[in-house]
Amino acid sequence: MTRKPKYIFVTGGVVSSLGKGIAATTIGALLESRGIKINLLKFDPYLNLDPGTMSPFQHGEVFVTDDGAETDLDLGHYERFCDVILTKNNNFTTGQIYDSVLNKERKGEYLGKTVQVIPHITNEIKSKVTNLGKTTDIVIVEIGGTVGDIESLPFLEAIRQFAYDVGKESVIYIHLTLVPYIKAAGEFKTKPTQHSVKELRMIGIQPDILLCRCEKELSPEMKDKISLFCNVKKEAVFSATDVESIYELPLLYSRQGVDEIIAKYLNIWSRSAGLQKWKKIEENRLNPVGSVKIAIVGKYVELKESYKSLNEALIHSATASKYEIDLCYVDSEKIEKGEVSLLECLKDAHGILVPGGFGVRGVEGKIKAVEYARINKVPFLGICLGMQIATIEFARNVCEMEGAHSMEFDRMTSYPVIDLMEEQKSIQNMGGTMRLGAYNCMLEKESLAFSAYSSDIISERHRHRYEFNSKYEDDLKSCGLKITGRDKVSGLVEIVEVEDHPWFLGCQFHPEFKSKPFSPHPLFRAFVEASIKNREKS
């Protein structure tokens, strides 16, 4: 008998930013903990082919997969919570769906038919879901946007048809909604949820489960009311209360029986959820022995979503060391313009981090922050642009290469210590053309990197166009810059370290994409440990 996969569709209503991605991945984690093989898929109803060309202010972080897809930040949550390695097949935008349909049309694959949203676009959407179903027990599909948006209609229509195609017994619909508390009335209000479910039902989708985002747990009476008005069984109306940490969610959902109901509705026989690893994280989080302060010197500080994976990676490492993390965002542009004092911002940071980024704005402020970390022996981690900045700072201030810079920011510099990669020079298009995805890197034995990874070969993800200019390698090395990691094939410099410093490391790749709460990334672990040590010293 062939195995028949099951499908969970997650939609969101009332307002955006309710955390559909986190809800979807929490469900994934719970099902995995019951021994079920899952995969996750996100549809984004916008026309860009991927978020790679969007400003972080518009879209937040771009999450990069091993195979080099630039994807939505929710995929970061999927990989952190679940035991999945995602690829370009786990995230599709409206743009990509139309792109493949139009390519087929040009090839004549529609045999003279009029190409339409229904059935051609909806078929294309459904094929992405079915494709993942071939290799897994349950596919969890998150539909981006909010029910009622014009843009998400083809996706909702496709998932409506889906249950019709494969049989309702293999499909459930979970709707994440908001039950606001109105202070003046002293009451929770269910009307927005009723309307949002009505909207779904109008397009032929009856949700099976409601996850109600709310400040406090809903009373049985409220659940009764929601159940009645929304035509959802009372046992399937859950309170998704606000939490301090997203890593509490698998425990919170499981306590209420969310995974039990899913198993029941999908008719799955499995063991009950084994949540030991989640409990361990909670225990550490709730019993910290101290707090460590990390300054993140970047340009997108008002928008924490831009550094999502980075924040999470720091939290994972601090929690593993039983520390609370005090993340302090420093706007490098303000330092650059002298609007804030560098010393004021950094004086009580136990560790300093310069993350990835693009564009010249704020770069001089970042260089100052690196100089501060190097001279004052504060643990430093530079990621991607952060590594390039560390190289520039070292060239200027240690090797006396006055005006050293990256060709990204100063084409006239006399010391282009960071240069455009050779293979990038002929590229015209902006979208999807960076050096993307996982590459192997060889580590030097005598290095901070090797002590962190305990391995001499690692694989990490990339997203950049510029690189360490090997013409300056000897000069920089003779002044004390250590090159401790190189791309296995091209020899490109991947990691730099500084001698006579407790912990100073810059890497061209993005380690933050591979950190998980129960297996924090080795570089973040080592950086946070060094920062904790620095704290104890001071």
Lookup: tokens for 25: 């991945």
Output the smallest distance, CB 369 to ligand GLN, in A. Answer: 15
Output the smallest distance, CB 342 to ligand GLN, in A. Answer: 21
CB 435 within 8 A of CB 421: yes
Nearest CA-CA partner of 285 in 324, 242, 311, 246: 324
Q: Are strands 209-214 and 237-241 parallel, antiparallel or unpaired?
A: parallel
CB of 308 or CB of 465, closer to ligand GLN: 465
Burial 191-229 (b: 16+ CB within 10 A, else e): eebbbbbebbeeeebebbbbbbbbeeebeeebbebbbee
Rounded Cα–Cα distance for residues 97 and 92 (Å): 7
- What is the DSSP code string of 77-146? HHHHHSS----GGGEEEHHHHHHHHHHHHHTTTTTTPPP-IIIIIHHHHHHHHHHHHTT-SEEEEEE-S-
CB of 342 or CB of 387, closer to ligand GLN: 387
Rounded Cα–Cα distance for residues 41 and 74 (Å): 10
Output the smallest distance, CB 408 to ligand GLN, in A. Answer: 5
CB of 278 or CB of 466, closer to ligand GLN: 466
Output the smallest distance, CB 513 to ligand GLN, in A. Answer: 11
Residue 117 CB partners (closer than 8 Å, separation 6+): 154, 157
Lookup: tokens for 23: 């809800």
Q: Which residues pair with 141 in a beta bridge?
A: 9, 41
Catalytic-residue membership of 512: yes
Rounded Cα–Cα distance for residues 162 and 123 (Å): 9
Lookup: tokens for 459: 């694989």
Output the smallest distance, CB 464 to ligand GLN, in A. Answer: 3
Given strand 504-507, what is the order of strands in its sheet?
Answer: 323-331, 290-298, 351-354, 380-383, 504-507, 493-498, 481-487, 435-443, 457-464
CB of 405 or CB of 465, closer to ligand GLN: 465
Nearest CA-CA partner of 273 in 256, 287, 285, 290: 256
Q: Applying CB under 6 A, which part among 185-193, 214-222, 316-324, 355-363 lies near ligand GLN?
A: 355-363
Q: Applying CB under 6 A, which part among 117-125, 291-299, 464-472, 486-494 lies near ligand GLN?
A: 464-472
Q: Are strands 6-12 and 171-178 parallel, antiparallel or unpaired?
A: parallel
CB of 409 or CB of 518, closer to ligand GLN: 409
Catalytic-residue membership of 120: no
Looking at residues 90 to 119 of the shown chain, list those that interact with ligand GLN (rule: CB under 6 A).
Answer: none
Q: Applying CB under 6 A, which part among 114-122, 139-147, 327-335, 351-359 lies near ligand GLN?
A: 351-359
Length of the chain: 538
Task: Check 199, 512, 521, 529 and give the catalytic one.
Answer: 512
CB of 175 or CB of 465, closer to ligand GLN: 465
CB 216 within 8 A of CB 173: no
Q: Applying CB under 6 A, which part among 139-147, 458-466, 486-494, 525-533 lies near ligand GLN?
A: 458-466
Output the smallest distance, CB 82 to ligand GLN, in A. Answer: 25
Among 59, 223, 316, 464, binds ligand GLN (CB under 6 A): 464
CB of 381 or CB of 385, closer to ligand GLN: 385
Q: Applying CB under 6 A, which part among 138-146, 179-187, 328-336, 460-468 lies near ligand GLN?
A: 460-468
Looking at residues 380 to 439 of the shown chain, list those that interact with ligand GLN (rule: CB under 6 A).
Answer: 384-385, 408
Residue 358, interface with ligand GLN (CB under 6 A)? yes
Looking at residues 142 to 201 of the shown chain, list those that interact with ligand GLN (rule: CB under 6 A).
Answer: none
Catalytic-residue membership of 212: no
Residue with tokens 């946007």: 145
Task: Check 82, 214, 230, 384 and give the catalytic one.
Answer: 384
Output the smallest distance, CB 384 to ligand GLN, in A. Answer: 3
Among 465, 482, 501, 514, binds ligand GLN (CB under 6 A): 465
Output the smallest distance, CB 65 to ligand GLN, in A. Answer: 15
CB of 19 or CB of 437, closer to ligand GLN: 437
The gap from C-alpha 452 to its chain's centroid, in whole angstroms, comes to 23
Among 223, 463, 486, 525, binds ligand GLN (CB under 6 A): 463
CB of 61 or CB of 331, closer to ligand GLN: 61
Q: How many chain residues bind ligand GLN (CB under 6 A)?
A: 10
Residue 70, interface with ligand GLN (CB under 6 A)? no
Task: Check 77, 316, 510, 521 and give the catalytic one.
Answer: 510
Helix (H) or strand (E) holding 248: none
In single-letter form, the type of residue at position 177 comes to: T
Output the smallest distance, CB 460 to ligand GLN, in A. Answer: 12
Residue 62, interface with ligand GLN (CB under 6 A)? no
Lookup: tokens for 374: 């190097």
Q: Which residues pair with 211 in a beta bridge?
A: 176, 238
Lookup: tokens for 461: 């993800």
Output the smallest distance, CB 96 to ligand GLN, in A. Answer: 22
Cβ-closest position to ligand GLN: 356
CB of 45 or CB of 68, closer to ligand GLN: 68
By annotation, the residues acting in catalysis are: 384, 510, 512
Name the site residues for ligand GLN (rule: CB under 6 A).
356-358, 384-385, 408, 463-466
